[in-house]
């Protein structure tokens, strides 16, 4: 079982902000809507909210009210561009290596189901676990329909996968200090392109490290 993080592990950078601003820049009259997320950002800075609250507020303010066909068209374009120019070649090679071995591939990401399932499908992942969003029929609300899939929530996701596949050995790939709790749970962890702080922590935990290009 090979479990891959997305942002910074497969992709070269965060994906949510480019996804949202890519849409806004094509519809510039919506750009001022970003200001609607400022109260949630302020609450986060003073410790009154968490990253999931900020994520939800950002999406609701900027994309809330848009329909599935509209967002679906942008998602297809965004994913196409991302996979052409925004992913690590070494990550793609490692995904193919696991696939050639017959390993099950799981994409585990805090990014949202606006586009993560599409990326997973294009890269051959059998299962995608990501942050879900609320829709009202075919209109995006933007609130989270699942926990924000980061930090300790990724630990819970790994625990559920182990229950689902009790006989499997697990490999996991991540890039951030927030990925270390779930990397510590698996038999074959790898921290890739980690920050200095993440590398220091990983070394203390005995987690192998690599640089992907």
The pair of structure tokens assigned to 198 is 């993440």
pTM of the model: 0.94
Q: What Å distances lie between residue 168 and 22, 125, 190, 202, CA to CA? A: 39, 17, 17, 24
Q: Which of 11-20, 28-37, 43-52, 90-99 has the lowest mean pLDDT?
A: 43-52
Is the pLDDT at 48 greater than 90, yes or no? no
Question: What is the pLDDT of the chain when averaged over all its residues?
Answer: 95
pLDDT in tens, 139-191: 999 999 999 999 899 999 999 999 999 989 999 999 999 999 999 999 999 99
Report how far apart, in Å, the C-alpha atoms of 209 and of each of 160, 170, 172, 180, 193 are. 25, 16, 12, 12, 8
Range of the domain at 156: 2-210
34 vs 40: CA distance, rounded Å: 11
Partners of 192 in the beta sheet?
210
Structure confidence by residue, pLDDT tens digits, 179-197: 999 999 999 999 999 999 9
In this structure, are strands 171-174 and 188-192 parallel, antiparallel, or unpaired? parallel
Instruction: Name the strands in the sheet holding 171-174, side by side, starting at the edge strand that comes first in the sequence.
Output: 127-131, 105-112, 2-4, 171-174, 188-192, 209-210
49 pLDDT exceeds 90? no
pLDDT of residue 50: 86
CA 206 to chain centre: 24
Q: How far is it, in rounded angstroms, from Cα 3 to Cα 128?
A: 10
The residue to which tokens 């059998």 are assigned:
126
Check which CATH number belongs to the domain holding 123 and give it.
Answer: 3.40.50.1000
Please answer whether residues 202 and 180 qualify as being in contact, where contact means their C-beta atoms are separated by less than 8 angstroms.
Answer: yes
Number of domains in the chain: 1
Let me know: does 143 contact 134? Beta carbons within 8 Å.
yes
Nearest one of 23, 18, 57 to 6, comparing CA atoms: 18
């Amino acid at each position: 079982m090979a479990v891959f993080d997305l942002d910074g592990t497969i992709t070269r950078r965060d994906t949510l902000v480019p996804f949202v601003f890519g849409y806004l820049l094509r519809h510039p009259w919506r750009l001022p809507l970003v200001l609607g997320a400022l109260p949630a950002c302020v609450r986060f800075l003073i410790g009154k909210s968490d990253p999931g609250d900020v994520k939800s507020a950002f999406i609701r303010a900027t994309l809330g009210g848009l329909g599935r066909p509209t967002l679906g068209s942008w998602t297809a374009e965004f994913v196409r561009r991302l996979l052409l120019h925004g992913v690590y070649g070494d990550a793609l090679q490692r995904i193919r290596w696991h696939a050639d071995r017959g390993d099950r591939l799981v994409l585990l990401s805090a990014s949202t189901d606006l586009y993560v399932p599409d990326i997973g499908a294009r890269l051959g992942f059998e299962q995608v676990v990501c942050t879900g969003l609320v829709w009202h029929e075919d209109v995006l609300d933007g609130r989270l329909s699942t926990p924000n899939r980061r930090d300790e929530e990724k630990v819970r996701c790994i625990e559920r996968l182990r229950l689902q596949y009790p006989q499997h050995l697990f490999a996991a790939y991540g890039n951030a200090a927030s990925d270390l709790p779930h990397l510590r749970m698996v038999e074959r962890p790898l921290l890739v392109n980690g920050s200095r702080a993440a590398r220091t922590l990983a070394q203390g935990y005995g987690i192998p490290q690599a640089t992907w290009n």
